[in-house]
Amino acid sequence: MLEIKGLKVKLEDEDKQILKGLDLTVETGKVHAIMGPNGSGKSTLSYVLSGKDGYEVTDGSAELEGEDLLDMEPEERAAAGLFLAFQYPVEIPGVGNMTFLRTAVNAQRKARGEEELSAGDFLKEVRAKAKDLKIDADMLKRPVNVGFSGGEKKRNEILQMAMLSPKMCILDETDSGLDVDAMKLVADGVNALRSEGRSFLVITHYQRLLDHIKPDVVHIMADGRIVKTGGPELALEVENNGYSDILAEVS
């Protein structure tokens, strides 16, 4: 599904290298997790994959189902099936959440040459999915993420993911700032989307999210590279011993 080879990324305006030759392959239908200390470049990786400005790829490649991601506009990547649940979801005053969702869903359908969803069908689908995530009618009406609590913002990200049904979902610290109940809701939302044709890259700092979303593969990232790859037990190792042992071992 997602294949990243030797990816090197620096900041556009500064002489600062952040990703230093990153290799990662996520197979179709699998859930991969990336764990790593703060500042290791996890968010940068997610931004570069989704096409945010401000970064310069100096080497390497990233492909989604064989298509060169790095060559596409952000909206083309989305239409190709990539989705990023932001670590810090963005507030958009003046744009209603519902309008935002409908615009996004229909834009992607249009890009793929599909019919737009009728207002009625769209509404039915949003309501059902919002209910599962305990997102009430008021949250759907309010401007995107404005005045939402941390947990509400993260649930809203999962709602967008559910509505857009992407092939490759990247979740950047979706667990941060969530209490136990909200974490459960988010994890249930993600698990409900797990399917043979869909892959996940779950970026997290802590093991606890991975109790709910069981990963197939766990990667440890440090200083712009994947330094170790293993099974779910790797997450437990981090939980018990922290990053220092692993980092000492690979250095």
Residue ranges that bind another protein, judged by CB under 8 A = 50-53, 73-75, 77-79, 83-84, 86, 89-95, 100, 103-104, 107-108, 111, 143, 160, 164
Contact 201, 32 (CB under 8 A): yes
3-state helix, strand, coil in the chain (%, to 5): 40, 30, 30
Of these, 42, 153, 154, 225, which contacts ligand ADP (CB under 6 A)?
A: 42
| Interacting residues of 15 by C-beta distance below 8 A, sequence separation 6+ | none
CB 169 within 8 A of CB 161: yes
Q: Is 174 in the site for ligand ADP (CB under 6 A)?
A: no
Q: Of 4, 32, 44, 145, which one interacts with ligand ADP (CB under 6 A)? A: 44
CB atoms within 10 A of CB 229: 15
**Minimum distance, C-beta of residue 174 to Mg ion, in the bound complex (Å):** 11
Closest CB to ligand ADP among residues 44, 145: 44
What stretches of the chain show up as alpha helix (H) in DSSP?
Answer: 42-50, 74-79, 97-111, 119-132, 137-141, 150-164, 180-193, 208-212, 233-250
Q: Which stretch binds ligand ADP (CB under 6 A): 33-41, 72-80, 138-146, 155-163?
A: 33-41
If one asks whether residue 43 binds Mg ion (CB under 5 A), the answer comes out as: yes
Stretch that binds Mg ion, among 20-28, 86-94, 155-163, 215-223 (CB under 5 A): 86-94
Binding residues (CB under 5 A) for Mg ion: these are 42-43, 87
